[in-house]
Amino acid sequence: GAFLEFRPLDEGSVIEYIKGVPALSSKLGLGKNEEDITVKEVGDGNLNFVYIVSNNSVGYSFVIKQALPYIRCIGESWELTKERAYYESEALKEQGAITKGQHVPQLYHYDHTMSLIAMRYLEPPHIILRKGLIAGIEYPLLAHHMAHFMAHTLFFTSLLFRSTTHHRRHVAKFCGNAAMCRHTEQVVFSDPYQISQYNHWTSPYLDHDAEALRHDNLLKLQVADLKSKFSERAQALIHGDLHTSSVMVTRDSTQVIDPEFAFYGPMGFDIGAFLGNLILAYFSQDGHVDQLNDRKSYKEWILKTIEDTWNLFYNKFIALWDEHKDGAGEAYLSTIYDNPELQLLVQKRYMTDLFHDSLGFGAAKMIRRIIGVAHVEDFESIIDAVKRANCERRALDFAKTLLKDRIKFEGITEIVSAIQEF
Ligand code: ADP
Ligand code: SR1
Ligand code: MG
Ligand code: MG
């Protein structure tokens, strides 16, 4: 049978594990031709171990992801609950159902004892979006797909669609993911603004920039507002870590993976994560210029993707709202919000607040990737430290402006112009 006690797996013991789980061994056709089974650890994320298990004689594969009770990229000294695998499995189910399986890998199996999930293998040519952005590859459907994913997962888990009773039941379930929220609170909203053993940056070039963060009263005032919103506002089921390494893509397919940070939080945290990471990708492009590619048109494509993502999100979200305005959602009762002008006013207010939240969270997430513990490959892959620091400083300065002045921006075209003029 399945393992009775938690045990960290390795490439060797994965097969032994699968043998004890009929749902997985039968999927793989295990038993007949065991020598055709291969296991490869491919985890390149910060936290967990990911194995691709393949039966090469039939050309079938799936993925096993296991959470150990610590942060992989740091080591056993930084403990992190392995219960995160449970929240990842629940979020995969929920987001999979809401998007009708279009943008989330199917969950095959969850094992609580082993803190492990099995899911669909996103086969090549799927790659991590961040790697595609570094390589300068355009994805024509990305904005459309991400807008669809975010509009659907956020709308259908909010009070715009649900009763407060229904909502509270769901909020309570994901409240248990508190340790993961505390992790985010530390690495996004606290550590970049104080001295922390985990912070690092491209030194010595950014030493003054890092110090300036610790003395920027206006910035700290704004970050406190965001932290409060992150910790207090159960607006919708958010992915919680929606950067460009949590998206796998081909030209035609966009798949959102890795929702282990999922909980009921502010919608803008997801939208901001995605947009903020696209802005990081934009500012890193100058570091990837070579004789073959000046990256000019690619930078334009990134900006267009930022603009399209927000505009498509806006339209899709409002369309869902209009479609369900007489449904069970209790945020704006149709008996009270009973005329088109009022409906328009309320929607305008809601979307403007959401836009400003997204800008704030996006900016905070940019800052943590330059000064905090975990950096991004967009910049890390720029070998020349001077070049890298110059790209990082522009991104950091832009993020600081965005964080402080976000309510001055009325629409996404203003953001795109601000990036271009920066
Ligand atoms: P972590 O939580 O450690 O960041 P991820 O879920 O992001 O782990 O997975 C780490 C890596 O494993 C991804 O960057 C990707 O390369 C690979 N991976 C994860 N899930 C899948 C999948 N379903 N199909 C193919 N590759 C995957
Ligand atoms: C040590 S911080 C690691 C980071 O990686 C994850 O993807 C989350 O973003 C987390 O903050
Ligand atoms: Mg990941
Ligand atoms: Mg993860």
Any idea which ligand is nearest the CA of 191?
2
pLDDT < 50 stretches in the chain: none
- Nearest atom in ligand 2 to the alpha carbon of residue 187 is 11
How remote is the CA of residue 234 from the centroid of ligand 2, in Å? Answer: 21
Tell me, rounded to whole angstroms, the distance of Cα 226 from its chain centroid.
17
* Mean pLDDT of the chain, nearest integer: 97
Does the domain made of 11-120 have the CATH classification 3.30.70.250?
Answer: no
User: Quick check: CB of 416 below 6 Å from ligand 1?
Assistant: no
d(C-alpha 195, C-alpha 151), whole Å: 37
Amino acid at 348: K
- Nearest atom in ligand 1 to the alpha carbon of residue 121 is 24
Task: Confirm if 354 and 272 have CB atoms less than 8 A apart.
Answer: no
How remote is the CA of residue 258 from the centroid of ligand 4, in Å? Answer: 5
How remote is the CA of residue 265 from the centroid of ligand 1, in Å? Answer: 23
Phi, psi of 396 (to 5 degrees): -65, -45
User: Quick check: CB of 114 below 6 Å from ligand 1?
Assistant: no
Task: Confirm if 284 and 395 have CB atoms less than 8 A apart.
Answer: yes
Q: Output the pLDDT for position 258.
A: 98
d(C-alpha 105, C-alpha 256), whole Å: 7
User: Quick check: CB of 122 below 6 Å from ligand 1?
Assistant: yes
Question: Collapsing DSSP states into helix, strand and coil, what is residue 50?
Answer: strand
Ligand 1 pocket mutation, candidates 246, 247, 257, 261, criterion most atoms within 8 A of CB: 257
Distances (CA, A) of 318 to 154, 321, 346, 398: 12, 5, 11, 29
Instruction: Write b or e for each residue in 297-312: b if 16 or more Cβ atoms lie within 10 A of its Cβ, otherwise e.
Output: ebbebbbebbbbbbeb
The alpha carbon dihedral of 167, 330, 162, 268 has a sign of: negative
Residue ranges per domain, the chain? 11-120, 127-421
How remote is the CA of residue 74 from the centroid of ligand 3, in Å? Answer: 15
Q: Output the pLDDT for position 32.
A: 67
Q: Output the pLDDT for position 128.
A: 98
> Which residues, judged by CB distance below 6 Å to any ligand atom, belong to the binding site of ligand 2?
46-47, 71, 74, 187, 241, 373-374
Does the domain made of 127-421 have the CATH classification 3.40.630.10?
Answer: no
Any idea which ligand is nearest the CA of 364?
2
Q: Output the pLDDT for position 208.
A: 98
ipTM of the shown complex = 0.99
Indicate which residue's Cα is closest to atom 6 of ligand 1: 258
d(C-alpha 163, C-alpha 157), whole Å: 10
User: Quick check: CB of 105 below 6 Å from ligand 1?
Assistant: yes
Interacting residues of 33 by C-beta distance below 8 A, sequence separation 6+ = 55, 57
Instruction: Write b or e for each residue in 163-192: b if 16 or more Cβ atoms lie within 10 A of its Cβ, otherwise e.
Output: eeeebeebbeebeebeebbebbeebbbebb
Q: Output the pLDDT for position 336.
A: 97
Any idea which ligand is nearest the CA of 43?
1
Query: Does an H or E element contain 88, and which?
Result: helix 84-98
- Nearest atom in ligand 1 to the alpha carbon of residue 47 is 3
How remote is the CA of residue 405 from the centroid of ligand 4, in Å? Answer: 31
Closest to 3 in 3D by CA, of 114, 82, 107 = 114
Q: Output the pLDDT for position 2.
A: 82
User: How buried is residue 26: exposed, middle or buried, by Cβ count under 10 Å (0-12/13-18/19+)?
Assistant: exposed
Q: Output the pLDDT for position 81.
A: 98
How remote is the CA of residue 292 from the centroid of ligand 3, in Å? Answer: 31
How remote is the CA of residue 24 from the centroid of ligand 1, in Å? Answer: 19
Interacting residues of 408 by C-beta distance below 8 A, sequence separation 6+ = none
